[in-house]
Structure 1
Amino acid sequence: MSKAIKETHYQFPGQVGFYKGKVRDVYIFEKELVVVASDRISAFDVVLPKPIPFKGQVLNQIAAKFLEATSDIVPNWVSATPDPNVTIGKKCEPFKVEMVIRGYMAGHAAREYKAGKRILCGVELPEHMRENDPFPEPIITPTTKASEGHDEDISKEAILSEGIVSPEDYAVLEKYTRALFKRGQEMASEMGLILVDTKYEFGKFGDEIFLIDEIHTPDSSRYFYADGYEENQAKGLPQKQLSKEFVRQWLISNGFQGKEGQSVPEMTDEIVESISDRYIELFEKITGQKFEKADTSQINSRIEKVILTHLG
């Protein structure tokens, strides 16, 4: 099996800090971030014990494609992608919310709806909806950005009243979120897919708002196959998904949803390889390009060398 990046421990000249996210290792410089997309995988806000070969490359390259394709809508933080697993860009001050936008009643929204809730993040949900039905128009359901543990649903009203984001900035975040989602849905449609829901993160560099983090990847987004969607809805059948949902479903079927007292099921080599294969399939379906596996024989030294070259 190919080598995978579980974590990195570099020390670079001029580095002023380091942050280890669920799946990314972030090297902090005075005005710049160097982000290494590791092969860690998380579900239910828990990092699973084994990394998935090529997952980091898949996410990094999908994000690079979509960030470039939306740069006419909103400026983004990226200045270079010098390696399949590395993105370098502006060190923005992140807003402490994630802008989640949903075009369909799926995932978390569907689970809440099934439990009887008709208001999600302050947004009233229509009656008589079925799972995977489209909303009359996309809804924005923000979450708090937790440094540890679970992100929590929050309403626009709470964000403003608690002073998490100013009204002026929040209006811009909403405008960008809707425009990005529209573009994402158009690009997905060209590939025979439906962009169901996704999340965006934003930050400030000086006084300007930038799009940060990854966008439209299977980790941050849910896709359905357009072919068969109507038929499946008519028959009340599950939709064929292109997202990380298959990992969540494997965990759920093995008794794990990230709750106290639950254990992650054993990740056999077969499971790890099947997840890796699915991520590569996701890449090819979403981008329409053939995935070219990077050389993983000396993966850590390869990445270190590329970053050092960039730092000059």
Structure 2
Amino acid sequence: MNTLTKTNYNFPGQKSVYKGKVRDVYTLENDRLVMVVTDRLSAFDVVMPKGIPYKGQILNQLATKMMKATEDVVPNWLTATPDPNVAVGENCVPFKVEMVIRGYLAGHAAREYKNGKRELCGISMPDGMKENEAFGAPIITPTTKAANGSHDEDISREEILAQGIVSEEDFNELEYYTRQLFLRGSEMAKDNGLILVDTKYEFGKTKEGKIVLIDEIHTPDSSRYFYAESYLQRLAENKPQKQLSKEFVREWLMENGFQGKDGQQIPEMSEEYIESVSERYIELYEQITGDKFIKADISNIEERIEQNVVEYLKG
């Protein structure tokens, strides 16, 4: 299947381009950004060699839906989605931290806990917790926003303030927004029979100095969901949770000897496996939103995107 793994556009008024792990961001005149969400798959901060069909469309449409559903809680950067894989919005200066919030002992937190750690980003985790058990209250465990594709690092509130990465006034606002978004996201998940386990948010500042939500929100790449119906029984029986997230890709990679560490080889992904990942992403979209996923025409994605974006910019 045709996938979008790289872009090389020259849009009208284009000033620069930044290529992230999954998103290519084009900066235009008049403080506008064109964010192209590719089909690249990233895990353990490493981009896999092959793309996943429809993944970019799924992430972009899901993030758009979630931004619109939370704009009364937190202002965001988004102004338009002229193509299934594209978001257009206001150019902001990103904060150099990602706001990770966790309601449950899962994923990275669970791995650290198993290794004997009882503190994450300066936050204490009580003894005697089971994997996937709920914390007494959600905890915020920020990470530094890594440059050049290197690993994001856990960091505490105290370190962020001491290093001057974010001012105390701004960080208080980021924490408030993070908790409000997680609350809204949890309510939306519950309506679809899911539990929002953990997620991350990224924020930026507009030229007027207003803090806004940027990038993706409540997608399977940035969030972990459990199925609510079977959660308590599986927890009681010490069984893995049935979940919706990118964790299934990480688990497959770990089973095949890859965790993003030096000297490790990325395992070969067969066409069958890639198709199964694509199907899983579609399932994630439909379960999280409650909507049927409609596949866009991918016969010539690059041309389609260029045409739609140029048409939008003309308007």
Give the TM interval when normalised to the shorter protein.
Answer: over 0.9
Matching of residue 102 in structure 1 with residue 93 in structure 2? no
Which residue does the alignment assign to 1:292? 294
Q: 2:246 aligned with 1:244, yes or no? A: yes
Opposite residue 237 of structure 2, the aligned amino acid is K
Partner of 2:214: 212
Match of 1:227 in 2: 229
SS at match of 1:228: helix
Deviation at residue 126 of structure 1 after TM alignment: 1.1
Distance 2:34 2:283 in 1: 27
Q: How does 1:140-159 map to 2 (within 5 A)?
A: 140-148=140-148, 149-159=150-160
Match of residue 50 from structure 1: 50
Counterparts of 1:37 and 1:65, CA distance in 2 = 15
Deviations 1:247-304 (A, max 9, x none): 0111111111111111111111101100000000100000000000000112110100
Which residue does the alignment assign to 2:16?
17
Q: Which residue of 2 aligns with 1:117?
A: 117
1:221 counterpart letter in structure 2: S
SS, match of residue 63 in structure 1: helix
Distance in 1, matches of 2:14 and 2:82, equals 18
Note the 1:71-82 alignment, pairs <5 A. Answer: 71-82=71-82
Q: Which position in structure 1 is the counterpart of 2:194?
A: 193
* Within-5 A mapping of 1:62-73: 62-73=62-73
User: What is the distance in 2 between the residues matched to 1:21 and 1:106?
Assistant: 26
Superposed CA deviations along residues 58-98 of structure 1, whole A, max 9, x for unmatched, are: 00011001000000011000000111100000000000000
Q: Secondary structure at the match of 1:75?
A: coil
Among candidates 305, 308, 311, match of residue 306 of structure 1: 308
Letter in 1 for 2:93: E
Q: Following the alignment from structure 1 to structure 2, what is the Cα–Cα distance between the partners of residues 85 and 127? A: 44
TM-score normalized with structure 2 length: 0.98
- Equivalent residue of 1:275, what SS? helix
Matching residue's letter, 1:198: T
How many residues end up aligned between the 2 structures? 311
Give the TM-score normalised by the residue count of structure 1.
0.99
CA deviation vs aligned residue, 1:137-186 (integer Å, no higher than 9, x gap)? 00000000001210000000000111110110001000000000000000
SS of corresponding position for 1:238: coil
Matched, 1:137 2:137: yes
RMSD in angstroms over aligned alpha carbons? Answer: 0.6
Determine helix, strand or coil for the equivalent of 2:178. Answer: helix
Residue 266 of structure 1: aligned partner: 268
- Output the amino acid matched with 1:48: M
How far, CA to CA, are the matches of 1:54 and 1:164 in structure 2?
A: 36
- State how far apart, in whole Å, the 1-side matches of 2:84 and 2:13 are: 23
Question: 1:250 corresponds to which letter in structure 2?
Answer: W
CA distance in 2, matches of 1:163, 1:299: 42
CA distance in structure 2 between the partners assigned to 1:83 and 1:113 by the alignment: 42
C-alpha offsets along residues 184-228 of structure 1, whole Å, 9 cap, x if unaligned?
000000000000000000000021000000000000000000011
Q: CA deviation at 1:311?
A: 1.5
Shift of 1:133: 0.3
- Structure 2 distance, partners of 1:145, 1:261, is 24
Counterparts of 1:21-32 in structure 2 under 5 Å?
21-30=20-29, 31-32=31-32
How many angstroms apart in 1 are the aligned matches of 2:171 and 2:218? Answer: 21
Identity of aligned residues (%): 65
Whether 1:176 aligns to 2:177 is yes
Give the partner amino acid of 1:272: I
State the distance in 1 between where 2:291 and 2:171 align.
35
Q: Secondary structure at the match of 2:229?
A: coil
Q: State the AA in 2 paired with 1:195.
A: L
Unmatched runs of 5 consecutive residues or more in structure 1: none
- Note the C-alpha offset of 1:13: 2.0
